[in-house]
Amino acid sequence: MKKNWWKALAVIILTYVILQGLLGVVPRQPILNESIRNVYFHVPLWFSMIALLLTSAVYSIRYLRSGRLDDDLVAVEFANTAILFGLLGCLTGSIWANFTWGEPWPNDPKLNSVAIGMLMYLAYLVLRGSFDDEQRRGRISAVYNIFAFAVFIPLIFIVPRLTDSLHPGNGGNPAFGKYDMDNRMRMVFYPAVIGFILLGVWVTELRVRFRRLKAALDD
């Protein structure tokens, strides 16, 4: 139990977030209306995706330094979970955009950047599939993973800010927190970020344990 306290924490936080997200009091904004509740789900999903990708890149660096296959396995599972979170982020974003911007996939630089980022990580999985030798696969895909992360960060943080974007905080728009979120929302939003990151780590941990057991059985 001592080792698993963070799982309990994730469950408690996410229950709180879902309850607050569906029932809590939110400020009423023009256009956004009740859809502002999505800020508890859509934004933390992206935050945690970036955290998971960062962890994946860190494990790739560790693999290149140590050559332990286990690090490579952890890196790919973090990338897998990040892709899942990215898809969920796209989905929640589409629902939100449909109500506030009028269409599920507006031609917005941030959306397009994220789509490119997803392509980049899907290419990472394709690259992994094309090697049979484990060490070789680990080394080459780790190189690509680090490279992809370093390109992904300017893609998602810098390019949308230089062009006109519908997203808050980009293209001269004020960030969300400035006007729309009051303190009561922050009390839900920040825990939501932590909760979703913990959930991502949990999913990854399960997958990693599964893969380790499979590897042990194969040996």
Partner 1 sequence: MAESVRQLSALMRKEFLLEWRQRYALNGMLLYMVGAVFVCYLSFNARRGQLTPIVWNTLFWIILLFTAINAIAKSFVQERAGRQLYYYTLASPQQIILSKILYNTALMLVLAFLGFSVYAFVLGNQANDVPLYLLTLVLGAVGFASSLTLVSGIASKAENPATLMAVLSFPVILPLLLMLLKVSKNALDGLDRSVSWSEIGTILAIDAIVLTLSWLLFPFLWRS
Place of tokens 């997200």: 21
8 A C-beta contact, residue 85 and residue 48: yes
- Calpha distance 98→173 (Å, rounded): 20
8 A C-beta contact, residue 109 and residue 43: no
- By CB under 8 A, the residues from 149 to 188 that bind partner 1 are 150-151, 154-155, 158-159, 162-163
Q: Strands, DSSP E only, in 60-188?
A: none
Each residue 56-85 as x (binds partner 1 by CB under 8 A) or -, in order, gives --------x---------------------
Q: How far is the CB of 28 from partner 1 (least distance, A)?
A: 37
Q: How far is the CB of 100 from partner 1 (least distance, A)?
A: 25
- Calpha distance 48→15 (Å, rounded): 17
DSSP, collapsed to helix, strand or coil, labels residue 85 as helix
Q: Does 87 bind partner 1 (CB under 8 A)?
A: no
**Site for partner 1, rule CB under 8 A:** 64, 113, 116-117, 119-120, 123, 126-127, 130-131, 135-136, 139-140, 142-144, 146-148, 150-151, 154-155, 158-159, 162-163
